[in-house]
Structure formats: structure tokens, C-alpha cells
Structure 1
Amino acid sequence: MAIIDGAAVEALGDERLDWRFKAVPGAAHGLTVREYVAGRPGLDEFGTPLLTLDAGALDHNVRAMAGWARAAGVDLAPHGKTTMAPALWRRQLDAGAWGITLANLPQVRVARAFGVQRVLLANELLDPVGLAWLAGQLDADPEFEFLAWVDSVRGVELMDAALRAAGARRPVAVCVELGASPGRTGVRDDAGALRIAEAVRAAPTLALAGVGGYEGALAHDASAAGLAAVDAYLRRVADLHRRLDYEVAEPVVTAGGSAFFDQVVEVLAGLDGRVVLRSGAYVVHDDGFYRGISPFARGGGEPLRSAMHAWARVISRPEPHLALLDAGRRDLSFDAGLPEPQLVRGEGPIAGARVTALNDQHAFMEGGEVEVGQVVRLGLSHPCTALDKWTMIPVVDGADRADPVVVDLVRTWF
């Protein structure tokens, strides 16, 4: 079974470029994506601010993670919310990913528009309108596989009532979500988890299919205390998975962001059923948070490479040690660390510079020998809040080259 509609992804090359895409230069307006990239435009044809992806780094990261998951004996359902780019999802699926993870119903609708046939919703879906739509999708397509989470008896009751009202014919598969303080959602105690499982088994519109959770909210560094908290939580997930009676032939146990997936494998691999990692940031990686905390950076595998870079122009030098760049919060991620100046395009590495603050449209850069008009490449932290600011992202043949060439354009839907 094809997990994504390849023809629908290929058709993205027929989209016409215009003013809707802030990364696209005026000279490309009216051309299709395919027509424009066939001319191999240079990056210097694009204005600033700009976000790019590096083709080689993307390929490397996809291969590295796919190979690691295969060797570990687990499945990978990468979190699609990181990129919301069906073209990148296709790369991950073609490399062997089991399915695509998503976070909410609008994201699931994007996936279905591109024929994604196996979706793990790492969240609860209680909206009656959304549940009616989902029931229609499941009933209309027998090959569509969908898995969601529940973390309360009340949530089970609301899902069951909405699905009954919608006349659902196929039961919705759900995982009991186990949480821990100070995490996000997820039932906090094991006794409550068992009650939720029994409620699911009693609901004819639902099917108990596994256990889910997220360890990434419990630690934000790789300290001994952080790793111990993650391990303790994952052992609880494993124990709950062993205790439940499932209503599917192959139950799922799923965890794993992009920071501690090695520990997920260490604790969960070998359990009965299917162990599914949901790591998503790996495909793009970064020059910030994940660069430091990724298991591969800590010696657990082949290091990933940051595929995303921002490009911003020096537009003002109002003080001797201050430069203002034409990119800000509307263009760059900043929630997990400020951008990092790396090089001046066409000149080489930049030394002694740092971004100290961002406004909506400006970056404040102190230090570094730059002149008004020069273009600075910035490393970014946290791909989830970088790509969401761009609807069309150029892919270059090498961000380290003096004269990068654009070889593709990636469309996103956030």
C-alpha cells in the first residue's frame, strides 16, 4: 500500500509562483515551480529575508534516521507538524517511515489531501465536527489507518457520543495517553489509565489499540537528572502497555521526540506489538537546541546536519558595534534560542558576532566586521517554529557554497 499519493506531490511542481510566497522573487512570478527551478537560479536572485533548506543535509538526515530506526528494530512515524511539507513527508516515507504523525485536525486534512494513508494523531480529538469528518474519511476509505489518543473517561464519552451522532461505521483506534508531571496532556496515574482503557473497550465506536506518551516535556537537557526522569517515565509507559487488553491484532506503543529517542528504544524496544517513534525535527535538524541534545550529537549515531539557514541583509550600522539585519520574528525562530551569525555570503565565516535581540522585522547583531548591504547567513534553533513562517522554501545545492543554486522549492501548509 502506498502511504502517500506520489502523483499529488509531483503536481506541486505545477503550482504557479506569485506574490503569495514571500521567498519568491518577482522574476519568477507566472512560472510554475518546475519551470523556475529548471533554470537553476542562483541564490543571489532571491531577496532577503530568506529561509533555505540544504539538499544534501536533508538527504543525509532522512537516511541517517531511517537507518538508525531499522537497526534498532522500531518503526518511525515522523512528526509532520515540523515541516507541514508533503514533499518532505514523501522523502521520509520513501525511506521506510511507517506513517506520519500529526498534532491536530487541520494538519490531518492536509495529509488526507495528499493521500496519506496512515496517520497517528498525537493528541485528542474531541471536536464533534472534526470527528464527523474523520468518520466520513474512515468509512469512505477502507485502507485509511488512523490512530488517536485519549486521556480521560470524559474524553472517551465525548468521542463515542460524537461518532454515534455521525453514524460512524468503522471504530476509531485510540491509544491511552500516559502523562507525567510537569508534562502536558496524559492521564497522570496508572489506575486512571486502566479506567480509561475499560471505557474505550466499552465504547462501540472506539477500539483500544495501544499506549502513547511524550517524554520530551519532562527534560530539557541531557543532564543525569533529566535522563533519569525520562527513563522513569518510559518504564511506566512500558508497564502500562503490558497490562492492557487490546482490541487490535498488533497494538502500538509510541513515544519519542527528537531529543531522547535513544532512551525510548532502550526501554520500549522488544515489547509485544509495534514500537513507533514520532521524532520529527531530525529531517531539518538545527544549529541550536537539537544540535546539542540530539542522541546522535551525544554519540548515539551518525551526526545530523542542520538543513535550515536564514539569510538577512545588513541595512543599518547606526552604532560602531551594532548592525541591524532585515529579518525578525516574522521570519526567524526565536523560542529556543536566538539566531547565530555564521558567514557573510560570498565572503566567508563571520567571527565575533552575535544576535542579541529580535523585533518583528529586525535582528540586532553586535560585533562582526560587516558592511551595509552585505548578506549574513544565520543558523537557527527549533525547526518547528522556523518553517511555519514560510509557505515556499528554496532548497539549495549547498548552503556552504559561495554561490548556492536553488534546485527545488518546498511548499508548506501551516
Structure 2
Amino acid sequence: MSEFLKGTGKSESLATSGWNILTEEVSFPVAVVKQSAITNNAQWMAQYARQAGVRLAPHGKTTMLPDVFKQQIEQGAWAISLATVPQVLNAVEQGIERVILANQLIGKFHFELIAQLLSQTDTEFYCFVDSPDNARQLGAFFQSKNVTLNILLEVGVEHGRCGVRSSEQLFDLLDVCQQFKALKVCGLSFYEGVITQEHAQQRIHSFVTDVIAMAVQIEQRQGFAIDNPIITGAGSAWYDVVAKAMNDSESRELFTYVLRPGCYLIHDTGIYQSAQQQVLQRSQLACDIKGGLTSGLYLWAYVVSRAEPNLAIIGLGKRDVAFDAGLPTPQLIFSPTTQKLDKAPTEFRVTAIMDQHCMMSIASDSALKVGDLVCFSTSHPCLTFDKWRQIGVVDDDWVISKTLATYF
């Protein structure tokens, strides 16, 4: 018997008629993305970037769907960002030509993989560096291979994640990098998402302004190896603040500004919906762009038990859906008996989740039956995609027309 993946149906029928979720032609639970939402979201952010005067290098780790990366490139993305070397290799294998490893490149085997990639392909590759030790390791290795490595020096914040913590550390790092001909310093990078809590907006703007000031100092010392060096940052929550700080700079013509949001493409009905609402409150530019980001990821699952009057047990659990930043939200109910598709009542709410089940609170007089289907939206899509080896693509009729392979 051949391998069978969850959320799939009969392979021979996919190319001809597709898999109809509502007529139960797939294994449940099933995860799907709406093509209309992906297209809309890609176009919206591409337009935002154009009007903000920045480039996009969307973070691919959200979906790890190279087919979707290609759609983002077609919509004008400058590059794709990834988080690990295997992610980079898979993206390149699927046709992505310019990638940013938005992370440190650490370890001999990873060095070998990237050196091989750069020697055998025309891939334009960048990685982050934040320590003299890593710079020396990279410099010695890539010099021995006669391969040039594009690097972005990472600037961080106190109590944050990676990145140098001061301009003094940055210039010390730059001095080490310049000892190696194999290291090509192409710009600076940062991640502002670790700046939270009180006065976050003002602190992020100030932080980005400081990063740009450091870049100006390096440029004045002729420390960058390229014209219009790259300055890159921004996740999906604060991209508007980052873009504004970049555009507020008197030195904006000196640099190539690149934003790296990822979750915007899929969006959600949880933390990123809230974050985007805050963007719209802060940014007139975002408000002026027609349409808006829409949630594009949905999971369908069976009601497997009505053991208590006010409780429905759903065949959807931690193995299937994100639960770190909010539990899945019921959106639709479908009854195979009556063939009725309805919006989920507002009182339907997931209250707990286990490995293969979640508990959904319902009204005691609800007509919901075992075998009915419930459609859920999510919060924080990154941690749903990594639970699936294939994701279905649907339009509004809930028929899966094709599947996309994930590469986590």
C-alpha cells in the first residue's frame, strides 16, 4: 500500500474533478488555503512596498510553500527570506534565485552546503553575522574555498535576540570581517519584533533610526562592499513603523531598504488580524490601499462526539493546528445530512485542545451532530503549516484543485 497523507483524497481524481470537501472526498482533518486570499494579500503588500519606497523579501518560513514563494516573486518581491540552511536549499531547488538567510550561518556542514550552492548556481545569497567568532569562521572557510559570501551585519537590542548591542561592537565586527576577502559586507539587518510593551512604536522607530545612523557611519568609512547597501528588517506586526523610519531618514537615498514580513500572505483571524488593525490605525498609506489583508488558511474537521449537551468534541488537535497564540476559531458549519452550509454561531468557541481533539463549547439546544463538519480559522499560521506535508488549494466552492508540498 502506498503512502497516504492526512488531508488528502484519491490521487486519480485530483487532476480531473478535484476533491470536494463538502462531499467528504478527503481525509479529515484537512488544511487548505484560499487562492483568492493569497493573490489578494500578495498584491496588497506589494503595492504597500512600492508606495512606501521599499523592497520586499517576504519571510518564507511562514508557509515553506515554494510554489507560493514564486507567486510572491511574480507580484514583485525582491527576494525570499528563510530561517535555516535546509529551507534555503529547498527554496533554491524550487527556482528562487535571490534569498536572505535571516539568521546566522553556523557550522561546518552548513558552510559546505552554502559554498556548494554558490559554486554551482547563480543564486544571490545573503546571511546575517553578529559575532567576530562567526566572522572568523566564515572568513577562513569561504576563503579556503575561493567563494565570496555576502553578509549583512546584524544589529540587535538589549534582552532581545541576535545582533550586536552597540555601535562599538558593530565596528569591531566590521573590522574583523574586513580582514577576509571572502566576506562581502553588503549592509545591515535587524529584527524589531522583540521590542514590545510600553511605547513600542516610538522605541522601534528610534531603534531603526539608530541602525540607519550606524549604516551612514560605515558608508562614510567606505566600509560597505556594494553601492546602495542593504538595510533590512520588519516582521508582520511593525512593518509600517519600520518603513516610516526608513523614509524619515535624511540618508534614505544611500541605501536599499528591504522589509521581511511573512505572515501577511496567509494572515489570520487572531494575532496578525489584531496587528494589521493597529497598522491601519497608524498608517495612512496602508489605509489608502484598496482592499485589505484577508485570512487565507482554514481547517475542516468532523464533530466526533456530543458527549455533553454544551460540548462538541472535534477531530482537530495540536498535531494539526497552531495553539500557541490563540485557539482555532469556528467559522462555518456543514451538515452532510441537510447539505446546509452556515456560519458558525457566535457562541461556538474552542475552549481546550489536545493532541488529536479540541473541545468546542456550544449551546445545549444546538442541532450540531456527530459527523457534521466544522471549518476553523487560525491564529499564527506559521505553526499550522509545519504540521502538514501537503496543503490543499481551494476557491470559494471548497473544492481542492491541487495540493502544495511543504518543505519544513
Q: SS of the counterpart of 2:350?
A: strand
Q: State the distance in 2 between where 1:72 and 1:229 align.
A: 20
Matched residue SS, 2:323: coil
Alignment of 1:289 with 2:271, yes or no, is yes
CA contact (8 A) 2:234 2:242 kept: yes
**By how many angstroms is 1:20 displaced?**
4.2
CA distance in 2 between counterparts of 1:394 and 1:206 reads: 42
Aligned with 2:178 (options 201, 213, 216): 201
Aligned residue in 2 for 1:395: 393
1:366 corresponds in structure 2 to: 361
Aligned mates of 1:309, 1:391 — CA distance in 2? 15
Aligned to 2:380: 382
Measured in 1, the distance between the counterparts of 2:280 and 2:392 equals 27
Matched, 1:267 2:240: no
Counterpart selection for 1:356 from 332, 346, 351: 351
Determine the structure 2 residue equivalent to 1:175: 152
Matches within 5 A, 1:79-118: 79-118=59-98
Match of 1:340 among 326, 329, 352: 329
- Give matches, 1:149-160, under 5 Å: 149-160=128-139
- Is the Cα–Cα contact under 8 Å of residues 237 and 275 in structure 2 kept in the other structure? yes
Distance in 2 between the 1:155 and 1:271 partners?
Answer: 31
| Residue 271 of structure 1, CA deviation | 4.7
Give, in whole Å, the separation in 2 of the partners of 1:18 and 1:72: 50
**Structure-2 residue corresponding to 1:230:** 204
**Distance of 2:46 and 2:69 partners within structure 1:** 13
Listed one character per residue, the Cα deviations across residues 256-280 of structure 1 (whole Å, up to 9, x for unaligned) are 1111111111011325121011111
Residues 297, 339 of structure 1: alpha-carbon distance in 2 compared, 3 angstrom cutoff: farther
Alpha-carbon separation, structure 1, partners of 2:159 and 2:326: 22
* DSSP 3-state at the match of 1:202: coil
Distance 1:286 1:169, change over 3 A: same
2:337 aligns with: none
Q: Which amino acid aligns with 1:191?
A: E
The answer as to whether partners of 1:297 and 1:304 remain within 8 angstroms in 2 is no
Q: Secondary structure at the match of 1:122?
A: strand
Q: SS in structure 2 opposite 1:394?
A: strand
Find the residue that maps to 2:178 and give its secondary structure: helix
Q: Which runs of 5+ in 2 are unaligned?
A: 335-339
Q: d(CA) in 2 for partners of 1:82 and 1:125?
A: 20
- Output the amino acid matched with 2:141: A
Distance 1:413 1:79 in 2: 14
Residue 91 (structure 1) shift: 0.2
Q: 1:246 to 1:314 in 2, by over 3 A?
A: same
Q: Confirm whether residue 19 of structure 1 aligns to residue 3 of structure 2.
A: yes
Structure 2 residue matching 1:267: 3-state secondary structure: helix
Match of 2:105, SS state, is coil
In 2, are the aligned partners of 1:178 and 1:186 still within 8 Å (CA)?
yes
1:256 counterpart = 2:251: no
C-alpha displacement at 1:170, in angstroms? 2.8
Alpha carbons 2:14, 2:400 under 8 Å: kept = no
Deviates more, 1:302-311 or 1:338-347: 338-347
Would the aligned equivalents of 2:237 and 2:279 in 1 still touch at CA under 8 Å?
no
Helix, strand or coil: the match of 2:319?
A: coil
- Does structure 2 conserve the Cα–Cα contact (< 8 Å) formed by 1:18 and 1:24? no
**What's the CA shift string for 1:93-112, capped at 9, x where partnerless?**
01111111001111011012
Tell me how far apart the structure 1 counterparts of residues 78 and 43 of structure 2 sit (CA, whole Å).
14
Write the distance in 1 (CA, Å) between the matches of 2:40 and 2:15: 22
> Conserved in 1, the CA contact under 8 Å of 2:8 and 2:30?
no
Cα displacement (A) at 1:169: 2.0
**Aligned residues: percent identity?**
33
1:234-276 C-alpha deviation (Å, 9 max, x unpaired): 1221111211120123310000111111111101132512101
Question: Residue type matched to 2:260 in 1?
Answer: R
Which amino acid in structure 2 is aligned with residue 24 of structure 1? T
Which letter maps to 2:343?
P
Q: Counterpart in 2 of 1:12?
A: none
Q: Is 1:140 aligned to 2:120, yes or no?
A: yes
8 Å contact from structure 1 (residues 136, 168) kept in 2: no
* Contact 1:296-1:303 within 8 A present in 2 as well: no
Deviation by residue 1:205-229 (Cα, 9 ceiling, x = unmatched): 2111100000112127xxx622122
From 298, 306, 315, the equivalent of 2:304 is 315
Counterpart of 2:302 in structure 1: which amino acid?
R
TM-score by length of 1: 0.88
- Choose from 108, 116, 141 the match for 1:128: 108
How many residues are matched? 382
Residues 199 and 271 of structure 1, relative CA distance in 2, 3 Å threshold: farther
CA distance in 1, matches of 2:263, 2:305: 34
Q: Output the CA distance in 1 between the equivalents of 2:352 and 2:167.
A: 44
